[in-house]
Amino acid sequence: MAVEQPTTANEYILHHLTFLSNKEPHGVLDFSVIHLDSVFFSVVLAVVFGGSFYLAARTATAGVPGKFQNFVELVVEFIDTQVKDSFHGTNKLLAPLALTIFCWVFLFNAMDVLPVDLLPALAHGAGIGHLKVVPSTDLNVTFAMALTVFVLIIYYSIKCKGLGGFLAELTLQPFTAKNPVVKTLLVPANLLLEIVPLLARPISLSLRLYGNLFAGEMIFLLLATLTLHGVEQLSTFGGWFFLTMQFLLSFVWAVFHLLVITLQAFIFMVLTVVYLAMAQEHH
Amino acid sequence: MNINLTLVVQMLVFIVLIWFTMKFVWPMILGPMEERSRKIAAGLTAAAKSEKDLGEAETRAKEIIREARDKATQIIDQAGKRSNEMIDEAKGTASAEAQRLVAQAHEDAALESTRAREGLRREVGKLAVDGAARLLGREIDPKTHAELLDSLAAEISNG
């Protein structure tokens, strides 16, 4: 898949928005296609998170903690506080799930602060034409997480309230009536009002993260187009000006982006905890 | 942008990662943290308790020192009193002994003088009898003249 280097801004951006996939997709849904770059980087980051935390967990002592154990405990305690604030029952899954989401999504997003051309250029040197390094700019990745959370929401709703309880929650509120006939008549309206927010949860979860990170990456790409012509633009004053602008603006945006990537990881984690807490609590 | 197999693979990766965190990471980090907080709580309780114990011990030590001081004062007082008593007693004994010795000496002296007087009287009586016998030229039987001799001796001793 040797792709010629892009020369115009349009080509450059399109080039950067193309996934490394096994083949060209046909249509919106095509399950024969796989994004190798997204899977590769998310698995690498999963290993980074799982491995480092596992090492910390294996050597963790109740005595005086080391520096890394301290850091890990800081994160764990932060997540634990968030979970305990939202959910008052006992659930062995919820807190580890929140920790996984927060750290994994944070690492996904952190890839966005790397210079946009660093890894793709290295990959190009190795003969790989396209490379998207930020897994959270892939809707498949964010939607996979949101969908898993959605399945867990359904699972815990049915587990804690029973299938009848869950269905009743979907169909018998917010409009209620004493008369059984009126009650039955209200079911479609209730179902509509309840099913939309339920389905909106995974979609909003995944789109929020995807949208924020995609936009962030797009800003970096647009700033990168200021110096698209390489060394030859250093011969003009305008070229130097654009170079300086790119450096300054990218720096400012990267600093601001540090907030965004943390905040988006945090939001994904907190909303997951809140949704799952709601699923397990009776109204 | 399209939805594809990546979605399924990512869900599997996500589930495996959650399982891994739940099994091998979360409990092994939170466990020691909870144990440490328990230890710290126990340590603080122990510190508070030992502080309280120290206070009590100090109070008790002060009490004991005060008692000991009182007792020492008492013992010193008693000892002083006792020594005075002993001195007085010794003085009493000594003066009594002295008096007794003086009395004894007086008695001995008196006895000795009586004895000497008796001896002298007897000697004088004998000398008188010898003198009288020499004057009379004959033997005087002390038995027949015992009465006379005795009254003579009495006269001498009284004289």
> Which DSSP string do the residues of A99-154 spell out, in sequence order?
HHHHHHHHHHHHGGGS-TTHHHHHHHHTT-------GGGSHHHHHHHHHHHHHHHH
The pLDDT, as a whole number, for residue B140 is: 65
Structural domain including A71 reads 9-22+34-280
**Among A29, A38, A104, whose Cβ lies nearest the Cβ of B2?**
A29
The pLDDT, as a whole number, for residue B135 is: 79
A268 part of a folded domain: yes
A96 part of a folded domain: yes
The pLDDT, as a whole number, for residue A282 is: 67
- Percent of chain B at pLDDT > 90 equals 62
Strands A29-30 and B3-4: parallel
* CA dist., res. A121 & res. A135, Å (int): 17
- Asked if the Cβ–Cβ distance from A29 to B10 is below 8 Å, we say no
pLDDT mean over A73-84:
92
* CA dist., res. B55 & res. B58, Å (int): 5
pLDDT mean over A24-49:
87
Query: Which of A185, A181, A263, A251 lies closest to A219 in space, CA to CA?
Result: A251
Handedness of CA B132, B138, B141, B144 (dihedral sign): negative
* CA dist., res. B80 & res. A282, Å (int): 90
Q: How many domains does chain A have?
A: 1
A86 part of a folded domain: yes
β partners of residue A21: A35
A274 part of a folded domain: yes
Mean pLDDT across chain A, nearest whole number?
87
* Top mean-pLDDT range of A9-18, A61-70, A102-111, B136-145: A102-111
A3 part of a folded domain: no
Residues of B in contact with A138 (CB under 8 A): 6
Chain centroid, CA B14 distance in Å: 89
The pLDDT, as a whole number, for residue A1 is: 33
The pLDDT, as a whole number, for residue A208 is: 94
Size of interface A-B (CB pairs under 8 A): 131
Give the model confidence (pLDDT) of A82-138 as tens digits.
999 888 888 888 999 999 999 999 999 999 988 888 888 888 888 787 888 899 999
**Among A33, A53, A96, whose Cβ lies nearest the Cβ of B4?**
A33
The pLDDT, as a whole number, for residue B91 is: 95
pLDDT mean over A18-39:
83
Select which of A204, A206, A235, A250 is catalytic.
A204
Interface test with A, best of B14, B15, B23, B28 (most A CBs within 10 A): B14
A4 part of a folded domain: no
The pLDDT, as a whole number, for residue A149 is: 94
The pLDDT, as a whole number, for residue A224 is: 86
pTM above 0.80, yes or no: no
* Top mean-pLDDT range of A14-23, A49-58, B63-72: B63-72
How would residue A11 be classed by pLDDT, with cut points 50, 70 and 90?
A: confident
How would residue B158 be classed by pLDDT, with cut points 50, 70 and 90?
A: low
Q: Is A109 a catalytic residue?
A: no
Q: Is A38 a catalytic residue?
A: no
A29 part of a folded domain: no
* Top mean-pLDDT range of A11-15, A159-163, A278-282: A159-163
Tokens matching residue B140: 């005087």
B71 to chain A nearest CA, in Å? 51
DSSP state of A5: P
Q: Is the pLDDT of residue A61 over 90?
A: no
Q: Is the pLDDT of residue B159 over 70?
A: no
The pLDDT, as a whole number, for residue A109 is: 93
* ipTM rounded to 2 decimals: 0.87
Q: Is the pLDDT of residue A2 over 60?
A: no
* CA dist., res. A107 & res. A88, Å (int): 29
Give the model confidence (pLDDT) of A196-241 as tens digits.
989 999 999 999 999 999 999 999 988 888 877 767 777 788 888 8
| Beta-carbon contacts of residue A44 (< 8 Å; ≥ 6 apart) | none
A28 part of a folded domain: no
**Among A31, A99, A147, whose Cβ lies nearest the Cβ of B26?**
A99
pLDDT mean over B128-140:
76
B43 to chain A nearest CA, in Å? 13
The pLDDT, as a whole number, for residue A3 is: 46
The pLDDT, as a whole number, for residue A253 is: 93
